[in-house]
Structure 1
């Protein structure tokens, strides 16, 4: 007989399912408890409150996307790798809109701040971008510059495009937006190339 997942795992899985479908507003302790098969008070044995549960969903999301980026962003061509991490960010934003908002757009007291937190490598996601930038600079494909300033420039550009698209500011279907996104990011990367 298969072993039932630990209570904390069931709670987290239930909360994440609600979050994926409805966003943070859909995650209530009663609803999570009902889906996890526990009482609402039982949740507090594992998570101090709703905010802690939402934070854990966000933290797990950061870790998952960083692992995914790192795995897909490996390759011998440094410029292809740099473009791949930008595409992965778009894929994540479109596939997981509520997690994307929680991780990258919602105000949070524990949000990492530029430059200190990023330069200290506290961002599992931007670390992957910075590593790709650094490798491209080391290979001579990108002009020498501050790695973290370039990484945050790329992030700001891609994030801005995604936010504008999701806000309905582009009159493009998803396929057309993806083509526009690639072309726009490529323009930015071309401007960063070594002479």
Structure 2
């Protein structure tokens, strides 16, 4: 019986353990023996599920974006597209907090000896931007954003919030400019830079905060289940 049949959660477990080891102890900590010991499985499981260590690291990248996509998918379209855009930003931050070890690997900031991200790997996660582009287009159509390029808006949102979240996870943001203060201000500034009025942007950002718990709770569990089901 294969490891996956005997334990359907061994695949995401190996991914999570591997990402944690790389993040906390460096690439040298990642070995089949160490993974097997911490996961409670045989070393063969790494080869069965990933074809080897390089395949495992690549799957960490894919899994990181898969979990982000699950969080994005829980943000539903409403009559306030700017609040929806702000909630996507909150989902991005929430995912990083729930999966900090994967977050560093999916963007290539942590690598394993003998493995480096290919150009295809680096562009793999771009599919997650589709929801952001869609929401930006709605903001433009509703007259909230003045720009005519929804993809550029999506890239502005991504690059600005990625930088902030990366600094937050690195514990660089301290009072009085703590992560929450900077994040809330950044959301409003991003909406106004796209053309929204400050008053309207502030109202939509505040509304998105009220929706946060209801729309993203338990999605990390959904993401883990999806990871276990993938071949």
Give TM-score scaled by structure 1 length.
0.79
Two-structure CA RMSD over aligned residues (Å): 2.8
What's the counterpart of residue 186 of structure 1?
Answer: 188
Q: What residue in structure 2 maps to residue 160 of structure 1?
A: 163
Shift of 1:108: 2.2
**In 2, Cα distance between equivalents of 1:173 and 1:93:** 22
Residue 80 (str. 1) matches residue 96 (str. 2): no
Determine the C-alpha separation between the residues in 1 that align with 2:76 and 2:21. 30
- 1:45-80 deviation digits (Å, cap 9, x = unpaired): 332211211222321221221122121243331010
Cα 1:80–1:194 change in 2 (3 A) is: closer
Q: Is the 8 A contact 1:90 1:162 kept in 2?
A: yes
> How many matched pairs?
183
User: Shift in Å at residue 99 of structure 1?
Assistant: 0.9
Structure 1 counterpart of 2:17: 18
- Structure with more contact order per residue of length (Cα contacts < 8 Å, sep ≥ 6): 2
Structure 1 residue runs of 5 or longer lacking an equivalent are none
Is the contact between residue 12 and residue 57 of structure 1 (CA under 8 Å) also seen in structure 2? no
Q: Which residue of 1 aligns with 2:122?
A: 111
Partner of 2:74: 71
**TM-score, structure 2 as length reference:** 0.68
Within 5 Å, which residues of 2 pair with 1:1-195?
6=5, 9-19=8-18, 21-23=20-22, 25=27, 26-106=29-109, 108-109=117-118, 110-112=121-123, 123-172=126-175, 176-193=178-195
Indicate if the aligned counterparts of 2:16 and 2:102 stay in contact, CA closer than 8 A: no
8 Å contact kept, 1:133–1:147:
yes
